[in-house]
Amino acid sequence: MCGGIIIAHLSNFAGRRLSIIICCIAGGALIYPWAFVSSSAINAGAFFLQFFIQGAWGIVPVHLSELAPPSFRSFVVGLAYQLGNLTSVASSTIESTLGERFPMVSPSGKHIYDYAKVMAIFVGCVFVYVVFITFIGPERRNMSFEMADKQIKIRIQTSMNSTRKLL
């Protein structure tokens, strides 16, 4: 939550795209401490990784809202998020399948899978994808949602008036 609130506020000044890209790069730098540190220092790595993940993912809905046409804004944002959820459904199966490719032996001699490596690869791929898509996409900084809503109301009113004249 901290990352989502703080980074979202800062994105008003720095821009949504730049904030998302910085969060993904910083999060990418924290993958190793999060996945491969076995001491209590893992807590710091996990906290800051989540800080930057929530920072980036907290801005995405607002960024999508700014990019979407005003009359379809909620539809575009909702559809994009639900398609993301649909895509992520397969992640546990993918992680399990990839985990089988990285076998290791536990200290007790039992054969286990190295899921830390798999999750690190998975998170890294997600960061790279988000940076790429955000980088190639446009930005509409300081867009006024109120002005767009007023324009929609004017169009609706004009359309209703012209329909009444026809009747």
Confidence label for 147 from pLDDT (cuts 50, 70 and 90)? low
Q: Summarize the confidence of residues 114-132 as an average pLDDT.
A: 92
Dist CA 67 CA 63 (whole Å): 6
Specify the pLDDT at position 148: 59
Question: Is the per-residue pLDDT at 166 higher than 70?
Answer: no
Confidence label for 153 from pLDDT (cuts 50, 70 and 90)? low
Question: Is the per-residue pLDDT at 129 higher than 80?
Answer: yes
Dist CA 58 CA 52 (whole Å): 10
Total domains in the chain come to: 1
Residues 24-74 pLDDT 10s: 999 999 999 999 988 888 899 899 999 999 999 999 888 888 888 888 888
Helices (H), 15-144: 16-29, 31-36, 42-67, 73-88, 91-99, 115-136
Q: Summarize the confidence of residues 134-158 as an average pLDDT.
A: 70
| Helix axes 42-67 and 16-29, enclosed angle (nearest 10) | 160
Specify the pLDDT at position 107: 85
Specify the pLDDT at position 64: 87
Give the residue numbers spanning the domain of 48: 2-166
- Residue 40 three-state SS: coil
Specify the pLDDT at position 124: 95
CATH classification of the domain holding 55: 1.20.1250.20
